């Protein structure tokens, strides 16, 4: 990126824009809810919407580091963690709507539903892998865990394929959207392999793929 462009990107309040972008879908859901515009099955509609938005935000978080490494878009690192946390927040909401609102936290019913809908297992595994990352995302935890923090945060690379598997598994008709996410996530993960990155981008040594900014 040119020095003029770099100076301009420094002036943009990226973190506030990321917060705004993440808040808009939630606001739309609230407005639609108040206007009774959530289809005839509002619980299902909210489950689908929160799942979709959560996935988009998590993929966006995954894209930040490759964008910096390949295109020099360093500004993306300033809101990478925010995107991940907002994505996790939507998925926590997605889970709460499904388990609390839809199934009334009835453990028997939840167990039966999981047997009928095995895609829920992949989603739950992704959520459980993301949970420690969300908890330890603060600077305090990063300091406390030291080198182990990076290792722990590599769980993101396992959680994302599981999240896409969850989506692909549940779709009955048009497989193209989950396939597009699968290809996107695969490319973003492959770009973390230095040999692959060198094929596509400048030889930038020492790009830390898990570092906090």
The residue ranges that bind ligand HEM (CB under 6 A) are 44, 47-48, 51-52, 54-55, 91, 94-95, 98-99, 120, 123-124, 126-127, 130, 163, 166-167, 170
Number of residues that make up the chain: 213
Cα–Cα distance between 182 and 185 in angstroms, integer? 5
Closest distance of CB 68 from ligand HEM, Å: 23
Helix intervals (H) in 72-193: 80-96, 107-116, 119-135, 139-145, 147-153, 156-170, 176-190
Q: Which is nearer to ligand HEM, 71 or 101 (CB)?
A: 101
Q: Which is nearer to ligand HEM, 41 or 213 (CB)?
A: 41
> Terminus-to-terminus CA distance in the chain, angstroms?
19
Closest distance of CB 72 from ligand HEM, Å: 29
Q: Which is nearer to ligand HEM, 75 or 98 (CB)?
A: 98
Cα–Cα distance between 8 and 58 in angstroms, integer? 26
Place of tokens 């900014």: 213
Closest distance of CB 181 from ligand HEM, Å: 8
**Contact indicator for 170, 117 with CB cutoff of 8 Å:** yes
Q: Which is nearer to ligand HEM, 69 or 162 (CB)?
A: 162
Helices 119-135 and 80-96 cross at an angle (nearest 10°) of 130
Closest distance of CB 12 from ligand HEM, Å: 28
Place of tokens 């995954």: 62
Q: Which is nearer to ligand HEM, 86 or 127 (CB)?
A: 127
Closest distance of CB 201 from ligand HEM, Å: 27
């Amino acid at each position: 990126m040119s020095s003029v462009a770099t100076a301009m990107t420094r002036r943009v309040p990226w973190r506030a824009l990321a917060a705004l972008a993440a808040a808009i879908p939630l606001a739309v859901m609230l407005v639609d809810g108040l206007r009774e515009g959530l289809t005839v099955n509002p619980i299902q509609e909210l489950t689908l919407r929160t799942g979709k938005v959560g996935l988009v935000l998590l993929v966006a978080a995954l894209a930040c580091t490759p964008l910096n490494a390949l295109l020099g878009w360093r500004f993306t690192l300033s809101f990478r963690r925010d995107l991940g946390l907002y994505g996790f927040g939507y998925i926590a909401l997605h889970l709460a709507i499904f388990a609390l609102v839809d199934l009334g936290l009835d453990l028997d019913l939840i167990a039966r539903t999981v047997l009928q809908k095995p895609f829920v297992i992949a989603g739950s595994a992704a959520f459980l892998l993301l949970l420690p990352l969300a908890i330890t995302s603060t600077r305090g935890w990063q300091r406390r865990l030291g080198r182990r923090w990076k290792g722990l945060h590599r769980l993101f690379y396992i959680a994302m394929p599981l999240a896409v598997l969850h989506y692909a598994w549940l779709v009955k008709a048009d497989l193209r959207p989950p396939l597009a996410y699968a290809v996107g996530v695969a490319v973003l993960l492959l770009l973390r392999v230095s040999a692959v990155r060198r094929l596509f981008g400048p030889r930038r040594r020492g790009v830390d793929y898990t570092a906090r900014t």
